[in-house]
Amino acid sequence: MHLEVVTPEEMGRVDRAAIAPGPHAGYGLMRNAGAAVAGEILARYAEAEGFFVLCGPGNNGGDGYVVARLLAERGLEVRVFADAGPATGSDAALALGDCPVKPEPLSAFQPRRAWLVVDALFGAGLKRPVEGGEAAIIAEVSNSGLAVVAIDLPTGLCGLTGKPLGSAFSADLTVTFFRKKRGHLLVPGRQICGDLVVADIGIADSALHAVGCKVWENQPPLWRPIWPKITAGTHKYSRGHVAVVSGGAITTGAARLSALAAARAGAGAVTVLSPANALSINAMHLTSIMLRKADTVSELQAFLVDRKPSGALLGPGAGTGGRTRSFARALLDQATEASGLVFDADAITAFRDRADVFFGMIRASAGKVVLTPHEGEFARLFPELQDGTGVSKVQRAQEAAERSGATLVLKGFDTIVAAPDGRAAINVNATPHLATAGSGDVLSGIIASLMAQGMPAFEAACAGVWVHAESGRTFGYGLVAEDLPDLLPEVLQRLFYKKVTPSAQARS
């Protein structure tokens, strides 16, 4: 499974490298692309009574002419619709020349029951909102309820941002080539694509090297090889010790959710640092998790010197005032290269008017730092990068990571993890069941735990986001945040399951 996710511009560079060898290479790729699409159509829509192929003026339309030819050559009923023809001498012109079906104008299109629509109007070359005849046909097809197979991208969907540019098709199936594009994974693009198939059209993997893609789909191969290992010599402190700062008497639950999640994710020891007024409440609810009083910065510093936790989490239920800011400074000041620090929720909001001060503290710290904002918290630290600016979620997270010096986890259905060095991952296994109070506290506890166990910030954040989402999927309806830590063992068993061999059984 290839995990790189490219931009349309990067894909264009890959294409140009792939067609450089000779004059027929471009049409060869187009024939392969069309054959891949036709193969998927025949495998999935064998019952269709006919095929409408809508072709645009560029190479996406060229792929469409290849599909139309291949379906017609099988004796199937095919009608092709196009307004502008391809440029003379282009690969698409060759594809049109080889196509036995004569194009009709888009205005002649009328839906027919049980026919399939093949969308080859625009793909990666989409540059402006879809209007006019193309917009009219998108509306007509959508109203008809006919199934749509999109070539490369549903027409109207921006392959970079995942947002529609004007009218857009909602496809049942999208067949793309070589690698997924960002628009296939970001919302709402992911829903607009329907099922997504990535076809191999003969472009070598090496074509990607020159492009230097730094964005991946967040899947276990990115981080499973460096998930913390345990051995016979492991003891509880060598598995990492996480400190979680609790809020006051009526806001202690969030820190306990984080603390339990940190323990379930493998930290050998977890300590809740509690204000005096919340000690007895925390004590009543904690069993394996340790508890220590920390009202003041000096109490926090004494704990850090005394117990040297390898990870710390500040924010869930912590309050947005001076105590949280001064605790953040102390944690950042005293961190070593081995320390993993997560700032979530209130710890982010506490710096809403002092973002640059916060970023300065993060940059000056020796520790690994992760920020885990939802869009609202993100907008407080990075108002100029908030959603709605037309910039993609990947780019917003990348710029925020670069600016702050921290690894950013910008949460949501399509959570982005971005490192200050430009690497980013798009998460794809979340479920809306995770939209429940306290679920983010569990996530930040897991990430703090993985860093405390030695994982680097980017991989810990990617792994945490994935296992958190997988836990949510495993539970489904009725999920509350308390369920998530208890689901981690099952998710981790699945992730690391190895078949037990007879000799291993005999030894145990």
Ligand X SMILES: NC(=O)C1=CN([C@@H]2O[C@H](COP(=O)(O)OP(=O)(O)OC[C@H]3O[C@@H](n4cnc5c(N)ncnc54)[C@H](O)[C@@H]3O)[C@@H](O)[C@H]2O)[C@@H](O)CC1
* C-beta of residue 91 within 8 angstroms of C-beta of residue 26: yes
Rounded to whole angstroms, the Cα distance separating 131 from 412 reads 31
127 binding partner (options K ion, ligand ADP, ligand X, none; Cβ < 5 to 8 Å by kind): ligand X
DSSP 8-state code for residue 194: -
* DSSP letters for 45-113: -TT-SEEEEEE-SSHHHHHHHHHHHHHHHTT--EEEE-SSPPPTTSHHHHHHHH-SSPPB-GGG----T
Binding mask 112-131 for ligand X (x = CB under 6 A): ----------xxxxxxxxx-
**Minimal distance in Å, beta carbon 316 to ligand ADP?**
7
User: Which residue of 5, 6, 29, 67 would you call a contact of ligand X, by CB under 6 A?
Assistant: 29
Residue 268 or 445 with smaller CB distance to ligand ADP: 445
**Minimal distance in Å, beta carbon 58 to ligand X?**
2
Rounded to whole angstroms, the Cα distance separating 327 from 70 reads 66
Residue 440 touching ligand ADP (CB under 6 A): yes
Residue 439 touching ligand ADP (CB under 6 A): yes
Which 366-395 residues touch ligand ADP, going by CB under 6 A? 374
Which 42-101 residues touch ligand X, going by CB under 6 A? 56-63
- Is 155 annotated in a binding site? The answer is yes
- Is 127 annotated in a binding site? The answer is yes
Q: Which residues bind K ion (CB under 5 A)?
A: 119, 123, 150-151, 155
b/e for 97-115, b at 16 or more Cβ within 10 A? eebebebeebeebeeeeeb
**Minimal distance in Å, beta carbon 320 to ligand X?**
45
Residue 430 touching ligand ADP (CB under 6 A): yes
- Is 129 annotated in a binding site? The answer is yes
**Minimal distance in Å, beta carbon 1 to ligand X?**
21
Residue 470 touching ligand ADP (CB under 6 A): no
Residue 86 or 440 with smaller CB distance to ligand ADP: 440
Phi (first) and psi of residue 159, to 5 degrees: -70, -15
Q: How many CB atoms lie within 10 A of CB 322?
A: 10
Residue 314 touching ligand ADP (CB under 6 A): no
Rounded to whole angstroms, the Cα distance separating 99 from 55 reads 12
Q: How many CB atoms lie within 10 A of CB 306?
A: 9
Peptide bond just before 111 cis, omega within 30 deg: no
Residue 61 or 373 with smaller CB distance to K ion: 61
Rounded to whole angstroms, the Cα distance separating 68 from 63 reads 9
* C-beta of residue 501 within 8 angstroms of C-beta of residue 302: no
150 binding partner (options ligand ADP, K ion, ligand X, none; Cβ < 5 to 8 Å by kind): K ion
Bridge partners for 342 per DSSP = 313, 370
**What residues form the annotated binding site for K(+)?**
60, 119, 155
> What residue ranges bind ligand X (CB under 6 A)?
15, 19, 26, 29-30, 33, 56-63, 122-130, 151-152, 177, 201
**What residues form the annotated binding site for AMP?**
411-415, 440
> What residue ranges bind ligand ADP (CB under 6 A)?
345, 374, 411-413, 415, 430-432, 434-435, 437-441, 443, 468
